[in-house]
Structure 1
Amino acid sequence: MNNRLLKMSVLLVACIYLTACATSPTGRNQVLLYSDQQLAQSGMQAFAGMKQEIPISRTQVTNRFVQCIADNIIRQLDEDASPEQWEVVVFDSDQVNAFALPGKKIGVYTGLLGVAENQDQVAAVIGHEIGHVLAQHGNERMSHSTLIGISQELVNQALRANNVAQSGAIMSALGLGAQVGVALPFSRAHESEADIIGLDLMARAGFDPRQSVNLWQNMSKASNGARPSEILSTHPAPQTRINNLKANMEPAMKTYSAVKNKPVCRG
């Protein structure tokens, strides 16, 4: 690859950045290369596959409990939001987790219900996961992965064209640098952003936002400290999340206090 072609390629990547700029619900700048339709289709396909691979809970009490919490949060999304438009499935699995996907899909693992002590703590998780969808974090991660791949290939071509010694070692280091320097920080930023969006959603739905802190205290105990260093993790450390939630608790509590008819979901 000659210098002129390299410059043109770099310019192409820059143009992609400029034309794909967007803003997240918290005002953070984003690069989104994929359409809502593409993401929704991918989400629906992934969800269909999971329903075939993972057992679905048939316990009516559990399903009603989770559905009630999800419905109340979904109603806060916009004026036209309808719980009937979303599919909520409880998966019979020990995983302490939940997720939401583009295409209006929500999955909750029964393992989460053993750690979350009440409806408010479950609402914190569901609100967080919906926050990922609202902020288009899946689109953003896919977009950055695409751009990182393009950039690495451009550097690789330039190294080979100029017979640079140890180009393989340089590319390996570049790959690690992209992972630690770009991909992981973005993942942690996404988690923190989803926490704040979820905090607002659960408060507007009438769930006690203070329970989000209790949830992560429970999560920390359940993990028994088995987690990688924060700099090498896609998720912030539990205490980092707790501090972030506490820092944003005042406006959430004002919103929560203004809700007159608070939900009662029984499990």
Structure 2
Amino acid sequence: MLRQLSASILALLTVGLFAHAQEATSQGNETNFILIDYGFNLSADGDETESMSLGLGGSAANETELLLTDGTVDDGSAFGIGIGHRYGNNIAAVLRYESGELESGTPSIQIAPGSTITETSLIGDVTTDLTTFMLEGVYFMPYSERVELWGMIGIGQTEVETSNARASITDNGATSSFLALCSASDDNTSTRFGAGATYFMSQDQGFYAGIAMTNYGDAGFNAVNENDGSCLNTRDSLKINDIETTDLRIGYFRSF
């Protein structure tokens, strides 16, 4: 199963810059290149979220709920590798693989009125793994002998996988834990755009950096069997819609 990273989106596109260095650029030579980069997440969020019933206390219409709000996905990082081809001076196509992880904020658990539960919280973090294959198109704008500016757009396929999570509750003075979230995996179409710059150390290698903004689609969770605490194959109502990230990517490229 593909793993999220995620996120490593932006860095690979930058690679397109990788194309040929100074002279090659001015002469319009074509070249192939490989790249490797690391992404630092600047922001990540889900536009809309929903809640799920934990089935603890209260009536069927008023149960204890786990609530996810905007900001449930925040910091994370990503790793990416890619291979590309530069056509003439200004255009390159890059195929990249990237993997990353997003960590959630602290989802809140709302205790139902009248419940004997006095305290409850999630144990550990809720994470979302991103594994992406992305095809990117890059346009280069020469700035100096060693520096090029670039802009990029991309479309790809991302596997978005959420994690299991356990919760702790204090009920009638006794503390116990139970499975609150069951992981699920979704294959989504992902889109991206970004901009940055490339620095050529020589005609065939250098470094690049840039900002990439990516939409990975939606993430969800499978339902928990309230009778035995096992994970079911059916989806729960809890979900995170439109996971979007902004990443700073820094990488190295080499042409061949």
Name the TM-score, length of structure 2 as normaliser.
0.24
Q: Which entry has the higher C-alpha Rg, 1 or 2? A: 2
Higher helix share goes to which structure? 1
Name the TM-score, length of structure 1 as normaliser.
0.23
Higher relative contact order by CA 8 Å / sep ≥ 6: 1 or 2?
Answer: 2
